[in-house]
Structure formats: C-alpha cells, structure tokens
C-alpha cells in the first residue's frame, strides 16, 4: 500500500528509575500527560502518547523504570517493560550523564543486546555538566554495538528534543495513521486524573510512603446546571500510621494534595473541578493479586 511518504510507528522509552523519561515525554508532547516526581518508580503503567504531525504519527510508550522487583507490583512493572519492547520500531534508552556505567544500566544494555530494534541512546541532563565530561560519557556508550545513535538532551529544558524527533522520524517505516489526529493519549480521563492526584501525593509526602499509595476515582461527573465537574477519589495506603501522615494535622496535608491536584486537573480538563479526597487503609495491597487487579494493575 502506498502511504505517500507518511511515516508512523511505535517508540518505547526505557531507562532506570528517575532518569527523566516522563519529563522527556511531556516535552515531546508539548503538554503534561505523564506524571513526574523526584522519587523513583513513579510510572507504574505503560502509557501511550500520540504525536501526530503533517507527515508522521509517532506513538511513544512510557514504561516504568527498570529495577529489581520488590513485590508483586514490581513484577507487574517488569512484565510491562518486557511486553513493551516487543514489536516497537524504535527504542529510546534514557540515561544520566554519569562518569561510569552502573549495574542497572549494564543490565539494560544486556537486554538491549538481544533485540534487533534500533536503539537510540538519549543522554539526559546535559545542562548539568561541561562539554568535556559529556564527550567522555558518549565515548563509554559508543563501545556498545546495540546502540544505533547517541543523542544528548535536556528533558527539563527541552534541549535536543527536535533532533530526537527528526532522528526517530527518519527511522520509522511508511505506514498509516493508527490513531485519530486529535487523540494524544490512549488512557481515559479518569486514569489521567488519578495519576495527577498520585503525583501530588508523591511530591507532598515522605519518602517511605508514596510507593504504598494507590488512587481510585470513585466519581467523575459533570453538573448539568454548571460548568463544573464533581470528582471523588480515594487514596489507599498500606498502614494506619501512613493514613495519619497523608491526612496531616487538622487535615492540612490532604488539603494541600487536593489543592495542588485540582489545579492540574482543571488545566487538563479545561474546566473547573470540585475535588473531594478520602484516605483508606488497604494493608499490603502491593503484594496481593486481587488488590492489584482491582486497582488497575493487572489486565
């Protein structure tokens, strides 16, 4: 079939936890579709973001950070990554500009050696080091035959993004437009809203709590007589002590999470939101297959 030069394909984005994958993807999409946090293992699901240009459609698949699983949730995330690497057209492998290649990246490189898919290495945070140090990092990765291209970027500042898109586009095959032109993400609005709430919890709470938090949207309904959406959501945690921390003194922490989330949700939905949050205990939900499925982590 003749596609008149139109190119399309699927691009997997992988890397260790907290290297900036979600930040990079938001830059590519020119809007916030994936949650970000300074804490590792923020992304739990595989999310497809769709960028449609006049001559191409690129479907980017954000994946959880590659790490050793510590529980059933971790096993689910590892399986998500493995499934994503099957049948994609390009793999974007994001790393930080460190002076040595650590065990986590060595493991990823070992996995990538087994694939025939083109691998583009993106060295992130190039604005944090001098040119000589960057060249040394590039030299270390040039020794790996599985890497087709090395592209320096700054996901935070948007530097090098256009060159990445140009390089990807040149590698994609001619093909159809897989998704409608106005579709930018393959997840529902309820999913994105839940992720925004979880992001705000990640940013507000202590390090030992966030990975034990899940969000369930109970209600998301527009009011008939007003330009307003009522949203009710529950934050699940694993311990009674965590519940108290999430709620905070006189409810101040939960109020802050809700206020921060409401701003981003209103920006995403493009209309005012009435957001109500509750906190409930769900002991050891990350270890229980039933709870994981109930919260949307198993198909």
161 with 153: CB under 8 angstroms?
A: yes
Report the residue count for the chain.
299
Question: Residue 56 has what pLDDT?
Answer: 95
Write phi, then psi, for 12 (nearest 5 degrees). -90, 140
The first and second tokens of residue 12, run together, are 């997997």
Give the residues of the chain that fall short of pLDDT 50. Answer: 35-44, 67-74, 76-77, 80, 290, 298-299
The first and second tokens of residue 16, run together, are 């260790």
Question: Residue 7 has what pLDDT?
Answer: 96
**Angle between helix 252-269 and helix 240-247 axes, rounded to 10 deg:** 70
Q: Which CATH superfamily is domain 7-171 in?
A: P-loop containing nucleotide triphosphate hydrolases (3.40.50.300)
Residue boundaries of the structural domains of the chain: 7-171, 189-294
Question: Residue 64 has what pLDDT?
Answer: 63
Question: Residue 299 has what pLDDT?
Answer: 46
Residue with tokens 């984005």: 13
Give the architecture-level CATH label for domain 189-294: 2-Layer Sandwich (3.30)
The DSSP letter of residue 238 is S
Q: Kindly report the pTM of this predicted structure.
A: 0.65
Residue 294 to residue 266: CA distance in whole angstroms: 27
**Angle between helix 21-29 and helix 161-171 axes, rounded to 10 deg:** 80
Stretch (H or E) spanning 257: helix 252-269
Question: Residue 195 has what pLDDT?
Answer: 84
**Coil vs helix vs strand at 158:** coil
What tens digit of pLDDT does each residue of 55-78 get?
999 999 877 655 444 444 445 445
What tens digit of pLDDT does each residue of 215-224 get?
889 999 998 8
């Amino acid at each position: 079939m003749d596609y008149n030069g139109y190119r399309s394909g699927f691009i997997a984005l992988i890397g260790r936890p907290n290297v900036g994958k979600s930040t990079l993807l938001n830059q590519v999409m020119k809007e916030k579709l994936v949650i970000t946090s300074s804490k590792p293992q923020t992304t739990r699901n595989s999310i497809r973001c769709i960028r449609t240009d006049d001559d191409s459609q690129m479907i980017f698949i954000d994946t959880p950070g590659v790490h050793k699983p510590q529980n059933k949730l971790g096993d689910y995330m590892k399986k998500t990554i493995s499934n994503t690497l099957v049948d994609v057209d390009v793999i974007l492998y994001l790393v930080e500009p460190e002076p040595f290649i650590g065990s986590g990246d060595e493991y990823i490189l070992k996995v990538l050696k087994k694939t025939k898919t083109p691998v583009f290495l993106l060295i992130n945070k190039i604005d944090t080091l001098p040119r000589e140090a960057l060249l040394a990092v590039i030299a270390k990765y040039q020794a790996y035959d599985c890497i087709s291209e090395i592209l320096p970027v700054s996901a935070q500042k948007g530097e090098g993004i256009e060159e990445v898109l140009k390089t990807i586009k040149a590698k994609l095959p001619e093909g159809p437009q897989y998704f409608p032109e106005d579709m930018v993400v393959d997840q529902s609005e309820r999913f994105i809203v839940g992720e925004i709430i979880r992001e705000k919890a990640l940013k507000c709470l202590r390090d030992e709590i966030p990975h034990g938090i899940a969000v369930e949207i109970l209600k998301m309904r527009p009011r008939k007589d007003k330009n307003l959406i009522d949203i009710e959501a529950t934050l699940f945690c694993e311990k009674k002590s965590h519940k108290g921390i999430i709620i905070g003194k006189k409810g101040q922490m939960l109020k802050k999470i809700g206020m921060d989330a409401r701003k981003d949700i209103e920006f995403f939905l493009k209309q005012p939101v009435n957001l109500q949050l509750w906190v409930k205990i769900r002991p050891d939900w990350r270890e229980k297959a039933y709870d994981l499925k109930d919260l949307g982590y198993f198909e």
